[in-house]
């Protein structure tokens, strides 16, 4: 029609998308020149003109280009300085003290392993040499270590939590006062766009999040960091080799934990999309119920709905399987870490004990032992211990004898009967039964008698002592536990910073018409009458 109207008006400029329309005959089939010059017969072959057919250029796509989904804008977040802008200098100093106290509290937890190391030795004494017991001074030292560390934990945690709650409440009160003042100072335009009916809920929700991010519980973040770093330091100092072996198994924990986090974060989204698809089919069928029934499409929509629900079932089953598998792997990773450290430590200790072993003979007295476990069982002036075997001193036995030096000899397999007589009579201590009056003399003897190839200053304890292996393994496990404690409080801090950004956007807004401003001239007194004429007031909506 446009081309035909153009030709009737006598416009000499041809249109690029249409040809001039020919004159229509009084009878016969109507013919229309389409935009690309092709002739299309009238619909149904009728003699009357009923419409035109428009041919499309095949090179031009009729589909609109698909728009990429725009990423949602990032949630605004305040900086740490902005979050703490209502804290006074004194309160900021208190916050630093609280953070240091929390770090110290976390770092003190792995120190408990040092006291447990002595406990491990005590437990191993009676198992290795029946009847042996630790000296009273060692037990007292262990108990005092527990008491000191426990008192430090109590003071540090109480200090960090108390300071955190005190400064939190003071800052939240200032936040609320500043928010109320900011709301009252705004101009009318702001109220029309800010939805004032939502302000109370907005400030309540925002302040609740800010309070959680500033409270005493957030200092668990520093406590967890101190706990993790302290565990790493203790493990690497006491037995770096075992600590390194334990750290090598960390990927067994990280990989399933990462898969678990991915499923937990994306599984619900996939389920929601599948349910949305099924709900869309149901909604379409319900809104067009008459059409569905008339066309007998009930089975079609039911099949689509069931297919969508099968997708939901598949997603749920897959998520449950992945969650169960990854949780089991994550929990077993701790056992794998412990097994790897213990296997490495035990084989290394066994090799070191063989490397440091020598036959124990003092002043012509040969000490004998049971075959198989090398437990001292007597002494003889003869060159043969038959039916027993010669006792071999090693770094582990030297440490045990020095620790249990005051144990009565008769309480051990080494004392009693002819053996006590050979060693000097009854009422001897274990150290005296081994031929020495003092621990220093005993240490000097074993150092002088140690095999030439064994390089260990002091001879005992062994470089790979059993208690050091256990301390290193437990310290690495504590490090992992400590760093995991930092996650929840860190999330609280992030949420608090986001909530503070929303609240501070209102507090920091300065309106064009500021009723709280003291700038400008202020008359000392106003007298007479004031009349306002021809004043037109208008304001833009913020």
Flag whether pLDDT at 34 surpasses 70: no
Residue boundaries of the structural domains of the chain: 1-56, 79-239+479-510, 247-338, 357-461
Bridge partners of 379? 367
Cα separation, 261 vs 256, whole angstroms? 9
Looking at residue 28, its pLDDT comes to 40
Tokens for 39? 């002739």
pLDDT of 426: 67
Residue 117 — very low, low, confident or very high, per pLDDT cuts 50/70/90? confident
Cβ neighbours of 58 (radius 10 Å):
7
| End-to-end CA gap in the chain | 49
- Residue 168: pLDDT band (50, 70, 90) is very high
Q: What is d(CA 80, CA 83) in angstroms, rounded to the nearest whole number?
A: 5
Q: What percent of the chain has pLDDT over 70?
A: 79
pLDDT in tens, 354-365: 999 999 888 888
Q: What is the CA radius of gyration of the chain?
A: 44
CATH class of 79-239+479-510: mainly alpha
Where on the phi/psi map is residue 525: left (φ > 0), alpha (ψ -120 to 50), or beta? Answer: beta
CA distances from 21 to 3, 38, 55, 152, 174 (A): 7, 12, 15, 99, 80
Q: How far apart are CA 188 and CA 193, in angstroms?
A: 9
Furthest-apart CA atoms within the chain: distance in Å: 147
- Which pLDDT score is estimated for 344? 92
Q: What's the rounded mean pLDDT across residues 472-498?
A: 87
Write the DSSP symbol of residue 57: P
**pLDDT higher than threshold 90 for residue 96:** yes
pLDDT in tens, 372-405: 778 888 777 777 888 888 889 999 888 888 888 8
Q: How confident is the model at residue 18 (pLDDT cuts 50, 70, 90)?
A: very low
- pLDDT value, residue 115: 77
pLDDT at 62 over 50: no
Cis previous bond, 461, omega within 30: yes
pLDDT 10s digits, 175-222: 999 999 998 888 888 887 777 777 888 888 889 999 999 999 999 999
pLDDT of 105 above 90: yes
3-class secondary structure, 244? helix
pTM here is 0.67
Task: Output the average pLDDT for the chain.
Answer: 78
Amino acid 9: pLDDT: 45
Residue carrying the six token digits 């929990």: 331
- Give 473's Cβ-side CA count (13 Å radius): 22
With contact defined as beta carbons under 8 Å apart, do 290 and 256 qualify? no
Residue 128 pLDDT > 80: no
Structural tokens at position 413? 């397999």
**Nearest residue to 47 (alpha-carbon basis) of 70, 74, 29, 60:** 29
Are 263 and 322 within 8 A, CB to CB? yes
pLDDT in tens, 409-446: 777 777 665 555 566 666 788 888 888 889 999 999 99
> Percent of the chain scored above 90 by pLDDT?
23
User: pLDDT class for 71, splitting at 50, 70, 90?
Assistant: low
Instruction: Name the most confidently modeled range: 263-277, 279-293, 478-492, 515-529.
Output: 478-492
- Is the predicted pLDDT of residue 297 greater than 70, yes or no? yes
The structure tokens 């006491």 sit at 238
338 pLDDT band, cuts 50/70/90, is: confident
Predicted local confidence at residue 134, as pLDDT: 67
The whole-angstrom separation of Cα 243 and Cα 234 is 9
How do residues 240-264 score in pLDDT, each as one tens digit? Answer: 999 999 888 877 777 777 777 777 6
pLDDT over threshold 50, residue 514:
yes
Angle among Cα 137, 143, 145 to the nearest 5 degrees reads 100
């Amino acid at each position: 029609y446009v081309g035909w109207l153009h030709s009737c008006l006598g416009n000499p400029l041809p249109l690029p998308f249409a040809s001039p329309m020919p004159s229509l005959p009084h009878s016969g089939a109507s013919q229309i020149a389409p935009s690309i010059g092709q002739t299309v017969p009238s619909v149904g072959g009728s003699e009357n003109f009923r419409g035109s057919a428009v041919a499309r250029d095949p090179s031009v796509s009729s589909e609109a280009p698909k728009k990429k989904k725009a990423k949602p804008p990032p949630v605004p977040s305040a900086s740490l300085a902005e979050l703490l802008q209502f804290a006074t200098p004194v309160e900021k100093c208190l916050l630093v003290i609280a953070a240091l106290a929390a770090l110290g509290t976390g770092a003190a937890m792995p120190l408990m392993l040092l006291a447990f190391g002595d406990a491990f030795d005590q437990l191993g004494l009676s198992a290795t040499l029946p009847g042996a017991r630790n000296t009273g001074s060692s037990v007292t030292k262990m108990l005092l270590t527990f008491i000191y560390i426990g008192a430090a934990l109590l003071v540090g945690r109480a200090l960090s939590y108390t300071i955190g709650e005190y400064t939190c409440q003071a800052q939240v009160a200032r936040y609320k006062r500043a928010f109320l003042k900011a709301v009252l100072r705004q101009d009318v335009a702001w109220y029309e766009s800010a939805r004032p009916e939502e302000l109370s809920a907005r400030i309540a929700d925002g302040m609740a999040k800010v309070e959680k991010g500033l409270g005493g519980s957030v200092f668990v973040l520093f406590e967890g960091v101190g706990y993790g770093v302290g565990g790493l330091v203790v493990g690497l100092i006491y037995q770096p080799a075992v600590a390194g072996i334990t750290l090598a198994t960390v990927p067994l924990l990280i990989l399933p934990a990462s898969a678990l986090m991915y499923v937990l974060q994306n599984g619900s989204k996939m389920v929601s999309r599948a349910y949305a698809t099924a709900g869309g089919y149901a909604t379409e069928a319900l809104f067009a119920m008459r059409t569905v029934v008339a066309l007998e499409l009930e089975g079609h929509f039911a099949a689509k709905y069931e297919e969508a629900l099968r997708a939901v079932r598949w997603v749920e089953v897959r998520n449950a399987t992945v969650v169960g598998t990854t949780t089991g792997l994550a929990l077993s990773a701790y056992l794998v870490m412990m097994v790897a450290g213990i296997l490495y430590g035990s084989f290394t200790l066994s090799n070191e004990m063989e490397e440091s072993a020598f036959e124990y003979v003092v002043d012509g007295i040969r000490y004998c032992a049971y075959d198989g476990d090398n437990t001292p069982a007597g002494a003889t002036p003869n060159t043969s211990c038959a039916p027993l075997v010669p006792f071999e001193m090693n770094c582990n036995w030297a440490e045990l004898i020095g620790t249990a030096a005051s144990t009565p000899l008769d309480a051990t397999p080494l004392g009693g009967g002819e053996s006590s007589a050979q060693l000097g009579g009854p009422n001897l201590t274990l150290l005296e039964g081994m031929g020495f009056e003092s621990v220093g003399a005993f240490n000097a003897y074993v150092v002088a008698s140690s095999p030439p190839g064994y390089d260990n200053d002091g001879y005992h304890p062994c470089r790979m002592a059993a208690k050091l292996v256990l301390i290193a393994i437990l310290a690495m496990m504590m490090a992992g536990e400590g760093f995991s404690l930092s996650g929840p409080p860190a999330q609280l801090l992030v949420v608090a910073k986001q909530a503070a950004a929303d609240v501070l956007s209102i507090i920091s807004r300065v309106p064009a018409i500021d009723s709280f401003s003291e700038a400008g001239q202020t008359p000392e007194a106003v007298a007479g009458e004031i009349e306002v004429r021809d004043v037109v007031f208008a304001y833009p909506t913020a």
